[in-house]
Amino acid sequence: MSAIISADPVATKPAPRRASREVQASGQGFFGKLSMSDAPGWLISVGVHILVMIALLAVKISAQTVTEASLLTSSLEDIQNETEFEPSTNDQEGISHDVTSLSAMSTSSASVAAASSGQSVEQETQNRVDDGFKSPEVKVTVDDLAMLPGKLTEVIDAGPGGKGPSITGGQGEDLSGMGDNVGGAIDRLTWEIAQALHEKKTTVAWLFDHSQSLKERRIAIAERFENVYRQLESLEEGGKGALQTIVATYGEGFNLVTDKPVEDVKTLIAKVRAIPDDPNSSKENVFAAVNQLVAKLKKERDKSRSIMIFIITDEKGDDAEKHLEDTINLCRKQAIKVYVVGNAALFGLEKGYVNWKYPDGTTEDIEVDAGPETVEPEALVLGFWGGRGPDLSRMSSGYGPYALTRLCKETGGQYLIAQADAKAQRFDPAIMRNYQPDYRPIKDYVKSIEKNKAKSSLIMAAKATKLENVAIPRLEFPAYNDNILRETITESQKPAAEMIYKIDRLVEVLTQGEKDREKVSEPRWRAAYDLAIGRAKAMKVRAFGYNAMLAEMKATPKSFQKKDSNQWKIEPSKTINAGQPVKKLEKEASMYLKRVIDEHAGTPWAMIAERELSTPMGWEWKEFKNSMLLAANTSPEEAKKQIRLADEKAKAAAASRPPAPQREKPKL
C-alpha cells in the first residue's frame, strides 16, 4: 500500500543547510588563518559557544518546518481513512490488465519557474509546450509525508475496486485510475491553490458543467469544499482576503452563481449543491464560457492576483473548433491557469459513456461526446472478423479529450481524470507517457501531416472508416436444404462485395504512405500507421478468401458427414484460400502487426495487433448441429410450415410478456 504525492521542489527551503554552509564559509575565512595551538583560550571558548548556538538555532528551524508540514497535510490517518490504496485489475475474457498508479508531475507555478529563469510567465509556459511537456518527476511516499516542506500535499486515491482519479500532468503524462471518485482530483487542486497562495493573493474560479450527468460530481465537490478551504486557511498565506472564490456554470449559455469573488466559502456550498440540472439542452459551450469568465475576472488580474480556473465536466465541449485557439491565447495573455476535472477519452473514439441511472433503478450506458484524445482520428474503425478474443471496443486512451487537455497544457494547468470508463481496458501510464498525443497548435499539427504521406494517408483512411462503416459479413449458414444454403450465400455475397471494395480503397490509400513510414519518428504515429496498414491488409486477405469459399460452396454444396448436422460455419484457418498475391499480402499484414507487438508492447496498438494476429487469415468449412434450425434435408414445404409455426409461437410468447417500460433518454 502506497500513496504517491507530488511536491514542489522549488518551494523547499532547507534553512538548516544554509546555516551550515555559512558556518563552513566562516571557518574558511577566519580559522583558516590560525591554528588551534596559536589561538588563546578565551577565543577557543567563544568559538565553541558560537557553534553550539548555531546548532540549537538549526534544530528550532527544523522543528518549525515539520510542524508547518503537519498542519498542511492535516492527519495522515484521516487521509488514509478517506482513500484506501489498493491495486486493481480489470479482467475480461481471461485477460488481466494491471493498473499502475504513478505520481503526478511536480508542477510548480509558472511564476516561480519564470522568476528562477528570468523569463515571463507566458514565455515559460510556451517553452514547456515547445519542449514536449517534459519535466522532472518528484515521488514522495507516505513515510515521507510528515517531512514535506511547507506546501499542501496531494494524495492520489486508488481505493476499493480501483476507484480514484488519474492525472494527465501539465507536461503531458497520464496517471490512470479507475472508477468515479473526484476526491484525489480535488486534493490535487487544493495543492495547486496552496502553491499559488504561497506566491501571491489568488482568485479561484470554479466553472461547473450543469448537465444532468454531472449532478453527483457537483455534490461530491460541494461536500469537500469546507475541508479544502479549512486546509488552505491553515496555511495563513497572504493574510486576510488572500484567497477568494467565484462560481459559475455553463451549458449552452453561461451564468454566474456568485456575482463577484467571495472570501467566505460557506455561502458557496449551498449554492453549488443547488446548481440546477439542464434537462433541455445537451450543448456544452465550455470555451465560450471560459472566455466570458476571464472577462469577468479582469479586475482581479488588475489587482495583481493569481487567477486559476477549475472546469468540472464529463464531456469535451461543443465549441472547440470555434473558440479553442482564442481561449488559449486569452488565458495565456492573462497568465491564467486552467485545470479540468473530467473523464478519460476512449482510445481513438469520439464517444464515451456515462452510466445513467433511471428513477426505477435500472442503469444504462449512454453515449456522450468525450473524445477523441487527438485532433483528427488516427485509428481505423474496424471490427474483428472471426476468432475469439477480448472486446476492444472500449479502451481508455489514458488522456482527456484533445481540446480541453491542450487548454490545460498551454496555460500551465492540468487535466485531472476523475472518471475512466469502468468497462475499458487500461494501460501502464509509464508506458503510455511515450505515446502522448500531439498537443501543438492545430496549424502545426496539420503541417506535420501534410509533410509526411504516412501520416496523411493514415488520417485519410481513419476518416473513411469513420464516415462509412465497414460491415462484417456473416459466418453461419443454415443448410437444412441446398436451396436455403444457396439463398443465404447469395445474400451474404452482397455485403462481402461492398466490404472488399472499401477494404481495397483503405489498402490503396495506406500503401501510398509506405515510402514515408521510415521518416516517422514519433512512437505514437509509427504504432498507429503500422497497425492501420497491417489491419487493412489482413482484412483484405480474409475478404478475398471468404468470397472464394462462398463461391465454391454455392456452386457445389458440401455434404454433411454427420446425420444430425444442419448448419455450415466458416471458421478461421491457417490455409489461405486464394492465389499467390493474396498469400503475399498475408505475409505483409503479419509483418506489420508483429512489428507493432514487438516495438509497442503494453499499448492499445499492441493489444489490437495481438487480437488481429491471433486469428488466422484463411478459412475452412465446419458442420454443426443447431437446435434452433430445421433438420437437414427438410423439404421446402415442410420448412415453410415449421417456420410459420415457430413465428406464431414466438409472437404468442411476446404477447404474454409485460411491455418493456418506455424510457426517454436524458440529454447529457
Q: Three-state SS across 582-619?
A: HHHHHHHHHHHHHHHHHHCCCCHHHHHHHHHHCCCCEE
* pLDDT value of position 11: 38
Spatial distance between the Cα atoms of 390 and 93, rounded to a whole number of angstroms = 6
* 127 pLDDT higher than 60: no
Higher pLDDT, 367 or 622: 622
Q: Per-residue confidence at 161, pLDDT binned at 50, 70, 90?
A: very low
Quick one: pLDDT band at residue 231, thresholds 50, 70, 90? Answer: confident
- C-alpha–C-alpha distance, residues 560 and 578, integer Å: 24
Specify which residues 416 forms β-bridges with. Answer: 167, 341
Comparison of pLDDT for 124 and 333, the residue scoring more: 333
The enclosing H or E element of 552 equals helix 523-555
Distance CA 91, CA 96 (A): 4
Alpha-carbon gap, residue 510 to 25, rounded angstroms: 68
The angle at the Cα of 303, spanning 299 to 305, to the nearest 5 degrees, equals 100
Question: What is the C-alpha R_g of the chain?
Answer: 32
Share of the chain above pLDDT 90, in %: 44
Mean of pLDDT values over 164-193: 57
Give the C-alpha distances (Å, rounded to integers) separating 36 from 25, 45, 47, 54.
18, 12, 11, 20
- What's 519-551 look like in SS3? HCCCHHHHHHHHHHHHHHHHHHHHHHHHHHHHH
Which backbone phi and psi does 367 adopt, to 5 degrees? -70, 140
Q: What is the pLDDT of residue 24?
A: 39
> What are the backbone angles phi and psi of residue 40, rounded to the nearest 5°?
-70, 160
Distance of alpha carbon 582 from alpha carbon 166, whole angstroms: 45
Give the pLDDT confidence of 242-276 residue by residue, as tens digits. 999 999 999 999 999 998 899 888 888 888 888 88
pLDDT reading at 49 higher than 80: no
pLDDT of residue 142: 26
Cis ω for the linkage preceding 372 (within 30 of 0): yes
* pLDDT band of 469, cuts 50, 70, 90: confident
Q: Enter the DSSP assignment of 151.
A: S
Q: What burial letters (b/e) apply to 182-216, b meaning 16+ CB within 10 Å?
A: bbbbbbbbbbbbbbbbbbebbbbbbbbbbbebbee
Closest by CA position to 340, among listed 408, 288, 411: 408
Q: What is the pLDDT of residues 70-81, one digit of tens each?
A: 322 332 233 233
The residue written with cell numbers 519564470 in the block is: 114
3-state class (DSSP) for residue 313 = coil
pLDDT of residue 181: 63
What are residue 178's DSSP bridge partners? 163
pLDDT digits (tens, 9 = 90+) for 60-100: 444 443 333 332 233 223 323 333 323 333 333 333 332 22
Q: What gap in Å lies between CA 222 and CA 272, rounded to an integer?
A: 6
Quote the cell numbers at residue 386.
472471426
Do the strands 202-209 and 243-250 form a parallel or antiparallel pair, or are they unpaired? Answer: parallel
Here the cell at position 62 is: 527544523
For 119-225, where are the E strands, in sequence order? 166-168, 179-180, 202-209
Average pLDDT over residues 405-418: 94
Phi-psi region of 598 (alpha: psi -120 to 50; beta: other; left: phi over 0): alpha
> Which element (helix H / strand E) includes 365?
strand 363-369
Query: How do residues 211-221 score in pLDDT, each as one tens digit?
Result: 888 888 888 88
C-alpha to C-alpha distance for 191 and 199, rounded to whole angstroms:
13
The helix or strand, by DSSP H or E, that contains position 193, with its residue range, turns out to be helix 183-199
- Whole-angstrom Cα distance, residue 45 to residue 146? 38
Contacts of 186 (CB under 8 A, 6+ apart): 221, 224, 228, 341
Q: How far apart are CA 181 and CA 183, in angstroms?
A: 6
Q: Which of 175-184, 322-331, 512-521 has the lowest average pLDDT? A: 175-184
Q: Can you tell me the distance from the alpha carbon of 105 to that of 175, in angstroms, rounded to the nearest whole number?
A: 9
pLDDT-derived band at 241, boundaries 50, 70, 90:
confident
Cell of 301: 488580474
Kindly state the average pLDDT of the residues 496-519: 95
pLDDT band at 124 (very low <50, low <70, confident <90, very high): very low
- Residue 595 near residue 610 (C-beta atoms within 8 A): no
Q: How many CA atoms lie within 13 A of 453 on its CB side?
A: 11
pLDDT band at 341 (very low <50, low <70, confident <90, very high): very high
Whether 494 has a pLDDT exceeding 60, the answer reads: yes
* Mean pLDDT value across residues 325-331: 96
What pLDDT was estimated at residue 637? 80
What average pLDDT does the chain have? 76
Task: Report phi then psi at 375, rounded to 5.
Answer: -65, -55
Residues, the chain, total? Answer: 668
More confident residue, 108 or 569: 569
Query: Which of 289-298, 398-407, 543-552, 645-654 shows the lowest mean pLDDT across its residues?
Result: 645-654
Phi, psi for residue 374 in degrees, rounded to 5: -125, 165
Instruction: Flag whether pLDDT at 648 surpasses 90.
Output: no
Residue 498, Cβ density class (10 Å: 0-12 exposed, 13-18 middle, ≥19 buried): middle
**∠ Cα 483 487 488 (to 5°):** 115
**pLDDT at 133 > cutoff 70:** no
Cα–Cα distance measured from residue 117 to residue 114, given in angstroms and rounded to the nearest whole number: 5
Dist. CA 123–CA 401, nearest whole Å: 25
Nearest-10 crossing angle of helices 121-130, 110-117: 100
What pLDDT does residue 505 have? 95
HSE (CB half, 13 Å, CA atoms) of 629?
20
